[in-house]
Chains A and B, each alone.
Chain A
Amino acid sequence: MRLRLVPENTNINFFRARWLTFGASMVLMVLSLLAWATLGLNYGIDFRGGTSVRTESAQPVDVAAYRAALDPLELGDVAITEVFDPTFEATKHVAMIRIQAQDGEESAGSDMLENVEAALKGVDDTVVFTSVDSVGPEVSGELVKSAIYAVLAALGAIMVYIWLRFEWQFSLGAVVALFHDVLLTIGLFAVLQIRFDLATIAALLTIVGYSINDTVVIFDRVRENLIKFKQTPLIDVMNLSVNETLARTVMTSGTTLIALIALLVLGGDVIRGFVFAITWGVVVGTYSSVYVAKNVVLMLGTKRDWSKPSDGPAGTQFSTDA
């Protein structure tokens, strides 16, 4: 007896609601952009500079008391948040304190940290700093730049690869789908105000990698079916291909999600934001492979005679007339 998440033969018409789904995706992309523009992202110190301190204490965290203790130090913008995690013992209370970059200092001055520690000890003498992270404005500027380059470079490289292996319509479809995934993730981070830092950028790139993986598998099948069914309308070939690969899509997303959820729940709070972004990306990426990437190819159309440019077996075809 086998576990079958997807019945043996499916014949779902994935493109019945193609305008609705594609439209919804476009609306969500615009909303994400709006959220990004209006709510802004909760940038971590990687990107805005400053100091982030993780405190641990045996007593419950009193955010108001912490704030009152730090106010006289005149450190500018200070954000204090308590961190909860199911893996913490009852006597472990963790808080994150973010302090803006101080004028004229590249990274945290030792005096500032000592003052902060002394002030917090006044509130709760069991407070210890388990990690301190400090980034100067010079480096944070560079980090932002290289993060943007990284995402663009990844998108560009993938676009070129797909173009070489398939057709420009596929390449465009894949990249639109990737933009969709990245934007929706950024939008979610803006709405939920989850900290957006260097690790989030790594997560975005991972999402790009995962989503393209999914998209390519379906594209590969579309290409194979286009050779097999030369007269069938494109929309039917697409539908057939998505149906044929559906079991695989669900299985792979399933195993990946199982692994990620284990990490999300048990992996500790330090990487939770990172894992959360990837988990969300897997869901969005799976959706966009079908509803964004295919839709774009469907709209643009593609050449139908795939046997011409080369006679090699499917999978090694490089287009020459794209």
Chain B
Amino acid sequence: MLNISTFNRLVIWCLVLAGLLFALPNAFYSRVEQHNDALVAIEKQGATPEREADAAAWPGFLPSSLVNLGLDLRGGAHLLARVRVEEVYADRMKAMWPEIRDALAADRTTIGTIRRQNGPDDEVRVRIGNPDQMQRALELVRALARPVVSLSYPGATDIEVAANGDVLTVTLSQAEREATDARTVQQALEIIRRRVDEVGTREPTIQKQGVDRIIIQVPGIGSAQELKDLIGTTAKLTFQPVVSRQSSPDATGAQGRVEVLPSADPREEGIYYVLEETPVVSGEELMDAQPDFDQNGRPAVNFRFNGPGARKFGDYTAENVGSLFAIVLDEEVISAPEIITHISGGSGIITGNFTVAESNDLAVLLRAGALPAGLDFLQERTIGPELGADSIRAGTIACIVAFAAVLVFMVLSYGLFGVFANIALLINVGLIFGLLSLIGATLTLPGIAGIVLTIGMAVDANVLVFERIREELKTAKGPARAISLGYERALSAIIDANITTFITALILFLLGSGPVRGFSVTLGLGIMTSVFTAIYVTRLLIVIWFERAKPKTVEV
């Protein structure tokens, strides 16, 4: 028991070293943060001497991941929003009505007159002239249904058609509703992400929660209201005629009302477009955009305008075959395809040098022009940066005092063994920070409380062992045997006690949110590291000391 093989010793030291190495950047928080920011900036906007200097402030061969500071420590805003997914159903049905009308009108001779009835926004009700021909009407409308790819509803189509007397009712099917919901939330998420990224704050968190909710956390923003204003504004999408293409941002030489906008395409670095200021069509008139393929099988994006948009777009393309046409999103030219033919009917296709993934992204961006549905804000939180700084200060002081007090208490109680336990405790806190950095966890104020609590509880495993060794010393033959028995017999209590505590940490993690979850993470990691340090590190220290000193008696 007192022999630990060289291999095991190496493994223990390596784990400790690795943990401490990962914890190291947190000791130089602002310097490493500067280094990381500089690296990102260099990658995005190119190197400047200043950025190079910032980047060099932390050696590149050392780990540079940091523990994220939660909103309550850094200040910022948190929003929980619900996407009003139902709004989209109404839009869908509105768009579907002309289609239904045309299908039924084509067979007016059998069905009779058709008239749309008032009803809820998310259904279309049609009264038909000859109720005895309802079967035929149902057939006609059902022919409009498109299959939906859905795991939970195999073979489902997007609409459900039902008859009630002389009234035919069309609604979206459950499968289609769920698919629509998922798409709506995904789109909203994408738009919000774009909006938030635009302000360029560090590490915003934008996540889907549940079916129709989105959590948005932005550190460093002034207030939740600012954040709401930011994501509430819609993306501005326009289609503008291209006057010329050039490599300088100057508008000299151009005539009429023009503007010069940069290209958003990374392959067109430094290219600028001179555009007519008045757009032909704007994003409000775009109804949908989907990734597609052109007639040659190359990835493309197809799009569709609503009625007025389609008319304007059709007229313009008829008159300007062969010229360039810019798709502008938020003052950047996403793409400037050539008009190949007159585009009537309000739908068209954007071809370009796309990969499949790119066409997909572009479709998302085009759809992402405007939020697909309104947002309700269910929860919001603003934390001022001063309050966060105060919390960090108070938390740090409390941590240090708690730490010092526990260290003193341990030495007073256990002497040399207390010193060993203290070294293990220091390593333990290092390991917690190392693990937190490694998994990119967020440290919150309750998280700091979790660390303090861990400091108090981490000694428990050591105390269990030391008390056991004391007991064994009374009966066992010789100190080596007592130490070895102490570890052996305390093990079951250590494991049972920590597994039960770990269960509660796990449940907190699964059911908690935000700060509470931060607490459960530090508590759970603290349990793991404290068991590791107590069983392996303290024991190794004791064994090394024992081998060197070869004491005849030990006092614990």
Q: Judging by beta carbons under 8 Å apart, are B452 and A263 in contact?
A: yes
Q: Tell me, rounded to whole Å, the shortest Cβ–Cβ distance linking A11 to chain B.
A: 14
Provide the bound-state CA to CA distance between A274 and B453, in Å.
12
Confirm or deny: A132 has a beta carbon within 8 angstroms of a beta carbon on chain B.
Answer: yes
Are A107's CB and B377's CB within 8 A?
yes
Chain B residues closer than 8 Å to A257, beta-carbon distance: 456
A206 with B453: in contact, given A139-B378, A199-B446, A259-B406 (CB under 8 Å)? yes
Q: In the assembled complex, how far is the CB of residue B552 from the closest CB belonging to chain A, in whole angstroms? A: 19
Q: Within the assembled complex, what's the spacing in Å between the Cα atoms of A130 and B366? A: 39
Asked if residues B381 and A210 are in contact (CB atoms below 8 Å), the reply is: no
Task: List which B449-507 residues lie within 8 A (CB) of chain A.
Answer: 449, 452-453, 455-457, 459-460, 463-464, 467, 470-471, 489, 491-493, 495-501, 503-505, 507
Among candidates A56, A219, A260, A270, residue contacting B453 with C-beta atoms closer than 8 Å: A260
A161 within 8 Å of B (CB atoms): yes
**A254 B409 Cβ-Cβ under 8 A:** yes
Establish whether residues B452 and A157, one from each chain, have CB atoms under 8 Å apart when the complex forms: no
Could you mark each residue 212-230 of chain B with 1 if its beta carbon is under 8 Å from any beta carbon of chain A, else 0?
A: 0000000000011100100
Residues of chain B lying within 8 A (CB to CB) of residue A236: none
Contacts of A161 on B, CB cut-off 8 Å? 499-500, 503
Interface size bracket, A side: 35 or more
CB of A201 closer than 8 Å to a CB of B: yes
On whether the beta carbons of A252 and B500 are closer than 8 Å, the reply is: no
Give A257 to B414 CA distance when docked, in angstroms.
Answer: 18
In the complex, what residue of chain A is closest to B459 when comparing beta carbons?
A255
Tell me if A79 is interfacial: C-beta within 8 Å of chain B.
no
The answer to whether the Cβ of B270 comes within 8 Å of any Cβ in the partner chain is no
Contact present for A259 and B505 (CB under 8 Å) = no
B544 part of interface (Cβ distance < 8 Å) = no
Cβ contacts B370-404/A at 8 Å (1 or 0 each): 00000011111111101100110011011101110
CB contacts (< 8 Å) of B448 on chain A: these are 267, 271
Q: What is the CA–CA distance of A135 and B448 in the complex, to the nearest angstrom?
A: 24
Could you say which interface size class chain B belongs to?
35 or more
| A-contacting 9-mer, from B20-28, B112-120, B274-282, B511-519 | B511-519
Q: Which of B387, B414, B498 contacts A54 (CB 8 A)?
A: B387
Q: Do A271 and B511 touch (CB < 8 A)?
A: no
Report Cα–Cα, A150/B382, bound state, in Å: 26
Whether B503 pairs with A256 at a CB distance below 8 angstroms is no
**Which residue from chain B places its CB closest to the CB of A252 in the assembled complex?**
B460
* Contact status B464-A248, CB under 8 Å: yes
Cβ contact within 8 Å between A260 and B500: no
Query: CB of B405 within 8 A of chain A?
Result: yes
Q: Does A304 contact B (CB under 8 A)?
A: no
Task: Decide: A278 and B504 in contact? CB cutoff 8 A.
Answer: no
**Min CB gap A256→B, angstroms:** 3
| A36 CB, min distance to chain B CBs, angstroms | 22
Complex Cα distance, B406 from A213, in Å, reads 19
Give chain A interface residues in 38-75, CB to chain B under 8 Å. Answer: 54, 56
Cβ-defined contact, A217 with B464, below 8 A: yes
A–B Cβ pairs within 8 angstroms, 18 of them: A3-B412, A146-B511, A202-B446, A205-B504, A209-B500, A216-B496, A247-B470, A248-B460, A251-B459, A252-B459, A256-B456, A257-B456, A259-B453, A263-B399, A266-B394, A266-B398, A271-B446, A314-B492
Instruction: Write the residues of chain A forming the contact surface with B, with a CB cutoff of 8 angstroms.
Output: 2-5, 54, 56, 87, 106-108, 110, 113, 128-136, 138-139, 146-147, 149-150, 153-154, 157-158, 161-162, 165, 198-199, 201-202, 205-206, 208-210, 212-214, 216-217, 219-221, 224, 244-245, 247-248, 251-252, 254-260, 262-263, 265-268, 270-271, 274-275, 278, 313-316
For the complex of A and B, 6 pairs with smallest distance between CB atoms: A315-B492, A256-B456, A268-B394, A259-B456, A209-B504, A259-B402
